[in-house]
Amino acid sequence: MTTTTAPTRLMLVTPPVADAEAISFRLMQAFAGGDVAAVLLRLADGDERSRIERVKRLVGPVQSNNVALVVEGPAVIATRGGADGVHLTTGPEAVAEARSSLRDERIIGAGGLRARHDAMDIGEAGVDYVMFGEPRPDGSVPPLPAVIERASWWAEIFETPCVAYVPDADAIVPLVETGAEFVALGAWAFDEGQDIRALVEQANAAIAAFAARKASAR
């Protein structure tokens, strides 16, 4: 996941996963809908061994589709599970520690950024992407206009890629239009009754339409 002039790409953020087989089935449905760059795997509670085992069960199916698997921290779960990277939400010190141990061998992403200076501090710590707009610890999400403003600001100024978290289907188009390198369909996309394949198709269609408008404006 590196910054390029290529169109925005899609990321999926899972709900907390306790059943690797069930989420694998939903991910295969999603991949059938079109291009997906990465999956951010969030794990339900459990001991270290069981969480590593869940990662191991998902690495093959995800990576065989040319999709990166990034695990929400700690780094030891991601590395021992064979994932492509780790997603941290605990600040620059955690990022620096992970970078020291992982070097450039795995993706390191960061979220939980509440202010511009938080994002700049974390960017300087050496992350491969920053995420804006993901749910807060209480489950609420920031107002969409604030996420649009933050993602647009970052994408215009900084080289480190950003991910704009999409809180619902109606937010796909405006977040694609921020120019963020990645947009992330959140855990809501995995809800029972959601057609995740259609959502991925919808997101990729929005990405293609925005890229075409940019190309025609040059």
DSSP state of 84: S
Comparing 122 with 5, the larger pLDDT belongs to 122
87 assigned to some structural domain: yes
Does residue 8 surpass a pLDDT of 90? Answer: yes
4 assigned to some structural domain: no
22 assigned to some structural domain: yes
What is the C-alpha to C-alpha distance for residues 173 and 152, in angstroms, rounded to an integer? Answer: 13
Mean pLDDT within 82-107: 89
**What's residue 3's pLDDT?**
39
**What's residue 103's pLDDT?**
75
Number of domains in the chain: 1
2 assigned to some structural domain: no
154: domain CATH number?
A: 3.20.20.70
Q: Structure tokens of 91?
A: 């600040």
- Peptide bond preceding 74 in cis form (omega within 30 of 0): yes
61 assigned to some structural domain: yes
| φ/ψ of residue 61, rounded to 5 | -60, -40
124 assigned to some structural domain: yes
Q: Which amino acid is at 68?
A: A
The domain containing residue 165 runs over which residues?
9-217
Strands 85-88 and 68-72: what pairing?
parallel
pLDDT digits (tens, 9 = 90+) for 79-88: 999 999 999 9
What mean pLDDT, rounded, does the chain reach? 93
1 assigned to some structural domain: no
pTM over 0.85: yes
pLDDT digits (tens, 9 = 90+) for 10-41: 999 999 999 999 999 999 999 999 999 999 99
**What's residue 1's pLDDT?**
46
Q: Which helix (H) or strand (E) holds 40?
A: strand 38-41
Q: Structure tokens of 208?
A: 């293609």
Does residue 207 surpass a pLDDT of 50? Answer: yes
**What's residue 202's pLDDT?**
98
161 assigned to some structural domain: yes
